[in-house]
Amino acid sequence: MKKSIWKYSLTGLVAIVSCSSSAKQDNREDGFGGHIGVFVAYQSSTSNFNTENTVTTGDPEASQQVFAGPPVELHYNWDQQQVYLSLFNSNELIQLGYQTKIGDSSAGLNYRPSLFGNEAFADPYPLKQVRDTTDTKAHSFDLWGKNILGTPLSLTATYHQFNVENDKAGSTLGIQEQQVLKRSADSLTLASGIEFPVSLANKIFASVELSFEQYRADGDAETFDGKGASVGLFKPLDNQFVMLKFGYQTNEFKTLHPIFGKTRDDDIVDASFIYTLDSPFGWHDTSLAVNASYSDNMSNIDFFEQQNLTVGTGIIYHF
């Protein structure tokens, strides 16, 4: 899918922008501010769902792409509160949000609609023939809290809605089997994490997060419950920031897949590296960022296996 390309590249950009902006937000002044920048990234993807590869033999196929974009954010601050509009900084490319600080705690909510149309195969399963595409739409709501009651605990709840406009999955099957493969879905993800020092002397910190996802598709073969965990290490320096993060999630699907004759079970591992440098080349109010990320979706059904590697760099000016 086209969406997957943005997903793995822009998720890294979100983290980059967040890391390079965090110190500024803690000392923010009332009034307007934001950032503008540019990023360039390379992605290598192996999947049966890349819409650039319209014909498949059933084995995941590789594709590569180089792309660029301008991450932009405009926000307004007042009385320890902030509203913001963000472009090219999230999976859905546009984000509207509100956040506030209460003592040492902060909380907020975000809305992330699709900005541009994405595509998926109307029926991804035919082999050795051209597969037609159809439009997809998605939007998400996030409710989050950080440093809750002065503790290092954070909580996030995300509601996501995904719609496949002309879903013909399993078009060669009977009507009941086609219904089991319907992909439009609603999902709810709950995540809880903490941050703590590993070595105060060396300024090394760690983060741990646990998550649970309920993904309810119109078709039972696409419905699953997911459980995940991630651990990260990060080290802030005088004008630099380094973070290394690893994650794992297991997705257990609800019922037998009518095409492959078994119930799908996925295990997803991912890793990411982020480096930021403030005031590169002596440019004040500017951040240089480098991101590399890798994910591997391992499934008991080979057709669903996917790998993604993204390497990117960007420069951001804060105002």
Please determine, for residue 270, whether its predicted confidence score (pLDDT) is greater than 70: yes
Q: Does the structure show a pLDDT above 60 at 7?
A: no
* Predicted pLDDT of residue 296: 98
> Looking at 172-176, 221-225, 237-241, 298-302, which range is the least confident one?
237-241
pTM: 0.88
| Rounded Cα–Cα distance for residues 36 and 18 (Å) | 13
Asked if 271 and 294 touch (Cβ cutoff 8 Å), the reply is yes
Question: Does 14 score more than 60 pLDDT?
Answer: no
Mean pLDDT of 98-105: 94
Q: What CA–CA distance (Å, rounded) separates 25 from 110? A: 17
Does the pLDDT value for residue 2 go beyond 70?
A: no
Per-residue pLDDT tens digits for 189-210: 999 999 999 988 888 999 999 9
Q: What is the helix (H) or strand (E) element at residue 17, kind and residue range?
A: helix 2-26
**Whole-number pLDDT of residue 57:** 86
CA–centroid distance for 78 within its chain: 29
d(CA 273, CA 245): 7
DSSP string, 204-269: EEEEEEEEEEEEEESSGGG-EEEEEEEEEEEEE-SSEEEEEEEEEEEEEEEEEETTTTEEEEEEEE
Predicted local distance difference test score (pLDDT) of residue 118: 85
Q: In this predicted structure, what is the pLDDT of residue 114?
A: 79
52-56, 66-70, 87-91: range with lowest mean pLDDT: 87-91
pLDDT at res. 8: 43
Asked whether the predicted pLDDT for residue 257 surpasses 80, the reply is: yes
- Residue 92's pLDDT is 59
Return the higher-pLDDT residue of 202 and 264: 264
For the chain, the average pLDDT equals: 89
Domain ranges in the chain are: 2-318
Provide the pLDDT confidence category of residue 16 given band limits of 50, 70 and 90: low
27 contact partners, CB below 8 Å, separation of at least 6: none
Question: What is the distance between the alpha carbons of residues 140 and 188, in angstroms, rounded to a whole number?
Answer: 10
Torsion angle, alpha carbons of 161, 166, 170, 172, to 10: 170
pLDDT bin (cut points 50, 70, 90) of residue 4 is very low
Q: Angle CA(87)–CA(311)–CA(295) in degrees, nearest 5? A: 95
pLDDT at 101: 94
Instruction: Count the alpha carbons within 13 Å of 134 in the hemisphere toward its beta carbon.
Output: 15
Instruction: Encode burial over 78-103: b for 16+ CB neighbours within 10 A, e otherwise.
Output: eeeebebebbbbbbbbbbebebebee
Q: What sign does the CA torsion over 272, 53, 71, 229 have?
A: negative
pLDDT at position 291: 93
Quote the CA–CA distance of 108 and 231 in Å, as a whole number: 23
pLDDT: is 68 or 147 the higher one? 147
* Tens of pLDDT, residues 146-183: 999 999 999 999 999 999 999 999 999 999 999 999 99
Q: Report the C-alpha gap between 90 and 8 in whole angstroms.
A: 10
Strands (E), the chain: 31-47, 61-69, 72-78, 81-87, 94-102, 105-113, 118-121, 133-146, 153-164, 185-199, 204-217, 224-236, 240-257, 262-278, 286-299, 306-318
Is the model's pLDDT at 117 over the cut of 90?
A: no
> What tens digit of pLDDT does each residue of 22-63 get?
444 455 689 999 999 998 999 999 999 998 889 988 888 888
Query: Around Cβ 282, how many Cβ atoms within 10 Å?
Result: 6
For position 201, what pLDDT does the model report? 83
Query: What percent of the chain is modeled with pLDDT above 70?
Result: 89
Determine which of 2-6, 86-90, 147-151, 287-291 has the lowest per-residue pLDDT on average: 2-6
Q: What's the confidence (pLDDT) of residue 181?
A: 98
37 vs 235: CA distance, rounded Å: 24
The CATH number assigned to the domain with range 2-318 reads: 2.40.160
